[in-house]
Structure 1
Amino acid sequence: MFLVTILFGSGLVLLAIGIHYEVLRLVASYLMPRMEIVSRRAHVMVGVISCMAAHTIEIWGFAAAYWLVHYTDLELGFADEHRRTFVDYLNFSAESYTSLGFGDAEMLTPGMRLLAGIEALAGLVLIAWSASFTYFLMTQYWGGRTRG
């Protein structure tokens, strides 16, 4: 079961990295160069909104995977899954991804605790990636200003 959990978590992480890469690449390579007529501030806002959209898609992806697993014979999830809804998985995923912890989630199986740690590590790295992308956009915006 440990190996299955690691493989499942690794697949989810690879999917999240792919989503993040593609969103940021499309924004930086396709959208930003076509925004010449808008202010540089709008570039930064579009970049931040794009990062938020990527994180939202990734959180929903983890939640959907957790929710779908409870229809299998794998013992990943909550021990009391019969009373859990998709919103419970979405809340759990958001808490794990942002490294807030899962204090209100009770009755986690050992596999789900391991997946929460994997998702937290992925979230930490992807949030840092978004921060560096935003910093890059801000330096371009600030670098474009002339002094007084």
Structure 2
Amino acid sequence: MIDLLAWVISIAMIGVSVEVHYRAMTLISDRFIPWGLQRFDARRTLLLAMMALMLGHFAEIGLYGLALHAMSLFPQFGSLAGTFDGKVGDFVYYSAVNYTSLGYGEVYPVGPIRVLAVTECLTGLMMIGWSTSFTYLKMEQLWQARAAKVAGGHAGQDTH
């Protein structure tokens, strides 16, 4: 039964991650980039958009860290072991290493909590890939707008 509950928590965390990421990208795309382009050039706008995407990733990492910590409060789920003190920061650190698939290995999951760890790794790969494709599409839009402006006689200005 506890294994099934670990899977349910993991699936819920996938949904939370997708929602956080979608909302971050929607905010960036619909509000932030148009606002940024009114005030800055394309480079600054893209830099700020990348920072906003990173904040989305940090939020997801933090949420996974909290979920890992919450699960570890119930011994039947297991916990993290290795070079680990059990502080919330340790769970967030492990979450960051896991989300990015860096996998140092000095901290590792033991017990059913492993399901969440594996799910986080796969979700992190998907979210990073999603951010990459989103950034590419936004950059393509910025370059097309810049090319149109240059073709319209505004050569030498780097506004888009």
TM-score category, normalised to shorter length: 0.7 to 0.9
> What corresponds to 1:92 in structure 2?
94
Q: What is the count of residue pairs matched by the alignment? A: 146
Residues of 1 paired with 2:79 and 2:39: CA distance? 49
Counting only pairs closer than 5 Å after superposition, residues 99-110 of structure 1 correspond to structure 2 as 99-106=101-108, 108-110=109-111
Aligned amino acid, residue 100 of structure 1:
L
Aligned amino acid, residue 50 of structure 2:
V
Aligned amino acid, residue 67 of structure 2:
A
Q: What CA deviation, in whole Å up to 9, does each residue of 1:95-137 have, x standing for no partner?
A: 110011251014x313222221100110010000100111012
Q: TM-score, normalised by structure 2?
A: 0.82
Q: Using the TM superposition, give the Cα deviation of residue 72 of structure 1 relative to its aligned residue in structure 2, in angstroms.
A: 3.1
Residues of 1 paired with 2:79 and 2:104: CA distance? 13
> What corresponds to 1:12 in structure 2?
13
CA RMSD of aligned residues (A): 2.0
Percent pairwise identity:
26
Higher strand share: 2
Q: Using the TM superposition, give the Cα deviation of residue 79 of structure 1 relative to its aligned residue in structure 2, in angstroms.
A: 5.6
Q: 2:124 matched to 1:131? A: no
Counting only pairs closer than 5 Å after superposition, residues 1-148 of structure 1 correspond to structure 2 as 1-35=2-36, 36-78=38-80, 83-106=85-108, 108-143=109-144, 144-145=146-147, 146=150
Q: TM-score, normalised by structure 1?
A: 0.88
Query: Once structures 1 and 2 are overlaid, which stretch shifts more, 36-45 or 87-96?
Result: 36-45
Q: Which runs of 5+ in 1 are unaligned?
A: none
Question: Alignment partner of 1:84: what SS?
Answer: coil
Runs of 4+ residues over 4 Å off in structure 1: none
Q: Which runs of 5+ in 2 are unaligned?
A: 156-160
